[in-house]
Amino acid sequence: MKTKFSVEINKPGSLNGEVFSMIANHNGGKADIDIDLIRAFVLSKNAMYPTLFNGCKASFVNENKLCISEDGGETFTLIITQKEVHELEAVNDLGGFSINEDGIVNHITNERPF
C-alpha cells in the first residue's frame, strides 16, 4: 500500500518549509515517511529548541489527520491528511484496440480495407 499526503495551509509557520519538503519527497517517491514521523519531527523541534518552538504542537484528529499549531493549539498552521493510493496495474489485453507509436488508439478489425 502506498500513501500520499495532502496539506491544508491555514497560515504561515516556521516549520512549514521543512514539513513541505518531507511531504514532497515522500509524494515524489524519494522518501518513505508516515504521519507519525511528521508529528515526531514537530515535537523534536520543540524538544531541541524549546525557546524558539515553545508553542509548537502536533495533534491527531484521527489516525490519518494531523494538525500542527505554533501557538499552543489555539490555531493551526497546517492540517495534514495521509491517504492510501491504489496504483493501476498495466493492462496487456486492450480488448480489440491497439496503441501506435504516436499514442493513437486504433480499433482492431478483421476486415480488410478495399
Task: Parse the chain into domains and list their residue ranges.
Answer: 2-85
Residue 95 has pLDDT above 70, yes or no: no
Q: What is the pLDDT of residues 24-45, one digit of tens each?
A: 999 999 999 999 999 999 999 9
57: which 3 cell numbers? 504542537
Q: What is the pLDDT of residues 2-27, one digit of tens each?
A: 899 999 999 999 999 999 999 999 99
What is the pTM assigned to this prediction? 0.73
C-alpha cell at 17: 518549509
Instruction: Please give the backbone phi and psi of residue 25, each rounded to the nearest 5 degrees, phi first.
Output: -65, -40
